[in-house]
Amino acid sequence: MLRWSGSQQVTDRNRAEQHGLVVAFAFPARAPCHSEATHERWTGLAQRERGLCVPLKATKWKRDLRHSRKLQMQEPAQRNREQVQALVVGSGVTGSSFAFLLQHAGISDVICTEARGEVGGNLISRSKDGYLWEEGPNTFQPTPVILKLARDAGLESELVFADAKLPRYVYWEGVLHALPSSPADLITGRFRLLSNAGKARAALGALGFVGAPKRVARQAGPEPSEDDDLADESVEEFVTRHLGREVFLKIIDPFVSGVYAGDPSKLSMAAAFKRVYALEQLGGTRGILEGALIRLQQRRRERQRWAAENLPKVKAGALGSFREGLQQLPLTVATRLGPERMRTRYALRQIEYNGAKRGKRRYTARFETPDGERVIETDALILTIPAHAASPLLQGLGVSGSELLQEIDFPPVYSVTLAYPKFAARFPLNGFGNLIPRSAGIRTLGMVWSSSLFPERAPPDMNMVLSYIGGARDPGIRECTPDEVAALVDADMRRVLLRADAPSPQVLGVRLWPRAIPQYNRGHLRRLEACNQGLQGFPGLFLGGNYLSGVSFGDCVQWAYDNVPRVLTFLQETA
């Protein structure tokens, strides 16, 4: 019998309601820059130098101000039509980062909307009874862009990092094997997950002495076909070709489950792991080792370019979060924007394109809210909602190719957080966690030993473990109830981590993500390209989100950082 803490259904109301629905006045919190001098005063020279800040014409922001004042004087019923320069739809890590960066660059006339009652999208952090746990993503890799965003948002002192030396394990035939922390460790005798033959095959393949020849980049015809998609090499094919079957089965297969909850025989290497895929072309040999060494040097140079920013120092390999969990980022952005600029329970239902008519905003967005329909007209529209939510809206607008976004699979995943007394574990849980290859016959995909990552996440005598279960190879998980899933994970933990006499767990959080992570399956890049072509006829409309940028937290922030200048340029050119 599992003990539910009763908190798994608690929705942290205090925090959510802080950002609840507030009918807004479109009063700009800060006027956008209208001259070079004031531009510098508002935003700082450094931002302008990085191209993140664009001076806007005085007439335009005065028009916005007049409009805002007019809105304030209107009766509530008349307030259901507003105008803004930029509208960001979706408040996940992509949307909230984007809205923040726009505001930070001087565009104060921005609104971010969210269909749900709280901000954050996949980022859901909960706390109760001395525990703090995640119900979506658990950590991020602290890239310079994330560190900079955290600092600019005032969250630098809230950053927390796990010890970079914490080992990651793979469960294989009843034993937890620590993964090597460097490529050299792969071939040492201490690393027993791979056989000597497996190690030799991986080393020779990486050097380019064995394995099929380099693949020539695929040239899809004007009408891409299913054959083109089959020619799109899968993760399984690529890894087996380069490093051998054993590395694939014992390391890459569980890793892919851990990152994508995906099926490596379907995932496209070029789309899902584009940086690793590129290594093959980067080096002169058939293997990927030479490309990896070149890439290492490139990364060193990239890091040096960030040195002037004086970002927080982080050890290589350390994973990060915020003191109050990952959701602290969007919650902070919501506070920075204010409730009139961050709107929850605002579900986008329809988009209209008005063209470039004088005195008229380009897009009209219609929202369903608890107070009925609300309309926002905007010059730049940035959709950061999932592909399956964006597709019907774009089809309604007439964007050709957008129907292909419906083909992107988002399989279900349950996240399950259980706590046990420390004495119930077979050994001290000092590590990041463990992955489980699909061939092991264990349904859980992986276990994150959350209480050993960051301080004060659990009472000192308790282990707290976050498990993920389901994914592309186990879609039937969506038919299970939360009780059944908690029991399944508890049984798997008894096989992998716990003593036979371990007491029942305290069940902290069990959440079904019916459509969790987009699968970059074969043909993914073709689908995106077709949609991108269709967007050409819709200036000012930008698509973002984890089906485009890469699925990790860091990929989403990087996308926002890279694309804010495009929106700023658009606004400047059309002002």
For residue 137, the minimal CB distance to ligand FAD (Å) is 3
Site for ligand FAD contains 553 (CB under 6 A): yes
Binding residue for ligand FAD, selected from 194, 249, 252, 413, defined by CB under 6 A: 413
Interface with ligand FAD includes 412 (CB under 6 A)?
Answer: no
Site for ligand FAD in 423-482 (CB under 6 A): 468
Residue partners of 9: CB distance under 8 A and separation at least 6: none
CA–CA distances in Å: residue 224 to residues 34, 220, 237, 363: 47, 6, 21, 31
Contact characters 555-574, ligand FAD, x per CB under 6 A: -x------------------
∠ CA(103), CA(155), CA(15), 5° rounding? 85
User: Is 7 near ligand FAD (CB under 6 A)?
Assistant: no
Shortest Å distance, C-beta 168 to ligand FAD? 13
Shortest Å, Cβ 559 to ligand FAD? 8
Question: Which residues, 19 to 38, sit near ligand FAD by CB under 6 A?
Answer: none
Which residues have CB under 8 Å from 208's CB, separation 6+? 283, 285, 286, 287, 289, 290
Chosen residue from 89, 112, 162, 497 binding ligand FAD by CB under 6 A: 89
Could you tell me the two tokens for 452?
A: 């050993």
Give dist(CA 309, CA 289) in Å, integer. Answer: 31
Using CB under 6 A as the binding criterion, the count of chain residues that bind ligand FAD stands at: 37
Q: Which residue has the tokens 């982080």?
A: 314
The residue within the footprint of ligand FAD, chosen from 384, 434, 467, 519 (CB under 6 A), is: 384
Residue 256 engages ligand FAD in binding (rule: CB under 6 A): no
- Whose Cβ is closer to ligand FAD: residue 264's or residue 287's? 264
Give the residue with the Cβ less far from ligand FAD, 413 or 424: 413
Written as six digits, the tokens of 544 are 């973002």
8 Å CB contact between 449 and 432: yes
Q: Judged by CB under 6 A, does residue 102 bind ligand FAD?
A: no
Q: Which of residues 115-174 bind ligand FAD (CB under 6 A)?
A: 115-116, 121-123, 136-140
Contacting ligand FAD (CB under 6 A), which of 53, 86, 93, 270?
93
CA-nearest of 486, 502, 429, 501 to 5 is 486
Stretch that binds ligand FAD, among 89-97, 104-112, 207-215, 270-278 (CB under 6 A): 89-97
Q: Spell out a b/e string for 366-399, using b for 16 or more CB atoms within 10 Å of the CB, else e.
A: ebebeeeebebbbbbbbbbbbbbbbbebbbebeb
Query: Considering only 107-115, 159-167, 277-285, 300-308, which stretch makes contact with ligand FAD by CB under 6 A?
Result: 107-115
SS3 292: helix
Would you put residue 147 in left (φ > 0), alpha (ψ -120 to 50) or beta? alpha
DSSP one-letter string for 73-89: HS-GGGGGEEEEEEEEE
Interacting span for ligand FAD (CB under 6 A) from 3-11, 27-35, 232-240, 551-559: 551-559
The first and second tokens of residue 150, run together, are 């955290």
The residue range among 73-81, 86-94, 220-228, 563-571 that interacts with ligand FAD, by the rule CB under 6 A, is: 86-94
Position among 113, 328, 434, 519 found at the interface with ligand FAD (CB under 6 A): 113
Quote the CA–CA distance of 110 and 55 in Å, as a whole number.
15
- Is there binding between residue 386 and ligand FAD (CB under 6 A)? yes
Q: Counting contacts by CB under 6 A, is residue 513 touching ligand FAD?
A: yes
Rounded CA separation 462/357 (Å): 63
**Smallest separation, CB 505 to ligand FAD (Å):** 19
Least separation, in Å, of the C-beta of 140 and ligand FAD?
Answer: 5
Query: Judged by CB under 6 A, which stretch of 211-219, 420-428, 532-540, 549-557 contacts ligand FAD?
Result: 549-557
Per-residue binder mask for ligand FAD (CB under 6 A), 312-351, x = binder: -----------------------------------xx---
Nearest to 270 by CA among 523, 544, 81, 5: 523
Q: Considering beta carbons, is residue 53 or 119 the nearer one to ligand FAD? A: 119
Q: Are strands 81-89 and 541-543 parallel, antiparallel or unpaired?
A: unpaired
| Distance of alpha carbon 575 from alpha carbon 292, whole angstroms | 45
Pick the closer one to ligand FAD by CB: 171 or 513: 513
DSSP 251: I
* Three-state SS at 69: helix
Identity of the residue, 26 or 393, whose beta carbon is nearer to ligand FAD in the bound complex: 393
Residue numbers of the site for ligand FAD (CB under 6 A)? 89-95, 113-116, 121-123, 136-140, 347-348, 384-386, 389, 413, 415, 468, 513, 516-517, 545-546, 551-553, 556
